[in-house]
A and B are shown apart, each in its own frame.
Chain A
């Protein structure tokens, strides 16, 4: 098995803001040519972590090592910020072209590169309109295009599909995947969308409250939660969930139980066949059930719940 080559390595990377520990001792290796997804709710520390990784933010302690080709440092890492960062009085062409000039893209290749990006991101028709006149989706694509003109080997995307409609989101995912597959770029993305992290990332790091909880391939992460289906039962009186949990735990066929956000999460084989048995057992003991939900396959949300004991609230 070949030894993976890391392009970014962090060592106990920490950022404190007064009493707040925004990133808590992050140790991480990003492999060359992979799409790495930072998944976590808002405030988990994802953006802070990547800002330190690309040198925009001074860490309180710890370090970052970026492996790049000679003479490439700085130019080889591009960041596409979560916020739309563009010059509204310039056209899409001018915005991308200006960033190319600033990154010293050779004059001979700059024009063709800008043209190609405009075509790839479906902005060619609006190339001469002012950025302020573009739709929100187009502005977000332009935001990405401005990060690509320097042809970086590492591309950091901070919440790339924020504010996009589902169709635009899927197109964007496809494009991001093509950047990896066709151009061999290493892509680090932060997201609070389970589906985005799951479908796009080769590896996912789940962050919560500044800590990196786990890193693995999405499939492995889901597998780690355990066998069976997931059933969530909510009671009319959430205060009784602890007592109800004790009842459910003793039932035959229940593999795992958890009190999550004043509801019961349990794992069982053949959940559909057994759910009536579980709910009846609770009702017989006087618990009033308000809602029942069954998930046949594990999701990254289940992983998050499994790791934190809390529901994932973006």
Chain B
């Protein structure tokens, strides 16, 4: 029961040191606030990307059915398309489009108020017109060619292919078709090349993200124009067998529960683990102070075991860790942390985080076994806790180093660290909305590895600090 007296003493010391306690409790709050704001900017997640557009497109004349022509502006259509796009499975717009001129655009890019500026050239519509004309020309000649070939060869695949009544029309309703002639004319196609410029700061993360998205969108815009031109051409022909339009298609889909997340929401479990690991430094320093100030020597003369001292130290610091976990969650939720799975998920996540905190306290005890002074403990603690947070994948996954299989899952080298399982369980619970069944193994491993860590602390502390000094 000596651990009980040590725990009571520890609690009194922690709670009476008002400044120290304030720092201990302010740390997770400040930590979460800083990281929260850093990751909740508009550089990702489901916040619209702010982009600028310089539309210099002069438009192009399009022939219309029944004669006449109208001016169409495909630059404006591209802008409308960008404005209408939303994130996958969400009604949040993908872009916040701002019309700018060149000078404004440069200024806003430098200030990083815009992720990029798209410049639509004056001949954009003209170029699109030519693309439509080329498509029509190719499509009509292909169709006519197939009818002719089918008639000669009796190809069964061309059966049913025939012109609609009234073909050829007096004029094609497509740009570039000869309108005055009584004979149908195929659109004349000129080579007009328009280049869309996407300008941005290569050092700005948002630019890289938007660039990739825009490349896809522009390609899709082009495909859509071609596809519509083909559709309109097919109205001159009777239905026949449709040739496959494409062979490979791609579709991106968000994993369950993560559709409307910001980067902060994705990173929060890692931030939590990082903050908890930092707690190890405080514990190590506190115990090293007992060594440095000689109070441990006093205790050594009593019949105190290493277990008594370390378990007695673990209890008050675990209470501090619990308080820190609650503060971390409270602040995260306050600044807009979204999670999946409702109240049960967050409650279970708090339990997991508390175990993660206790693992960090155990790490602190182990560090104290090797620290010669408070300063040494702080340095050693930082040296161990910070890299550990990266090793356990708090922020990004590390290369796979599989050791074997455990409970049907691959056991990696990092899986020997309890925080790997804390981070994993937190992600499953908060990001993917998993239940207790999905995190049970992680929780079991987290608790077991924490017990191992604590036992190592007891062993090394007893050997290094409680034996007579050699």
Contact = CB atoms under 8 A, between A and B. Distances in A.
B303 A75 contact: yes
A79 B301 contact: yes
B198 to A, nearest CB: 62
Interface in B283-304: 293-295, 297-304
Interface stretch (B12-20, B64-72, B268-276, B365-373): B12-20
Contact of A74 (B6, B13, B301, B468): B301
A104 B299 CA distance: 12
Contacts of A65: none
A54 B301 contact: yes
A63 interface: no
Contact of A103 (B16, B293, B295, B302): B302
A57 B469 CA distance: 5
Contact of B16 (A78, A130, A150): A130
B89 interface: no
B397 to A, nearest CB: 43
Interface in B6-28: 6, 9, 12-13, 16-17
A296 to B, nearest CB: 42
B183 interface: no
B12 A94 contact: yes
Given A89-B13, A101-B5, A58 B294 contact: no
Interface of B: 2, 5-6, 9, 12-13, 16-17, 293-295, 297-304, 467-470
B418 to A, nearest CB: 30
Nearest to B18: A89
A81 interface: yes
A58 B297 contact: no
Contacts of B298: 79, 81, 85, 99, 146
Main secondary structure of the interface of A (DSSP, over half): loop
Nearest to B17: A89
A55 interface: yes
Contacts, number: 64
A57 B295 contact: no
A44 interface: no
B301 A87 contact: no
Given A87-B295, A90-B13, A99 B469 contact: no
A233 interface: no
A85 B297 contact: yes
A87 B294 contact: no
Contacts of B300: 56
A146 B298 CA distance: 9
Contact of B468 (A57, A94, A103, A150): A57
Contacts of A150: 302
Contacts of B297: 56, 79, 81, 85
B9 A90 contact: yes
B10 to A, nearest CB: 10
A277 interface: no
A58 B16 contact: no
B16 A77 contact: no
Nearest to B1: A101
A85 B291 CA distance: 11
A102 interface: yes
A74 B16 contact: no
Given A58-B470, A130-B16, A104 B9 contact: no
Given A58-B469, A81-B294, A102-B304, A87 B5 contact: no
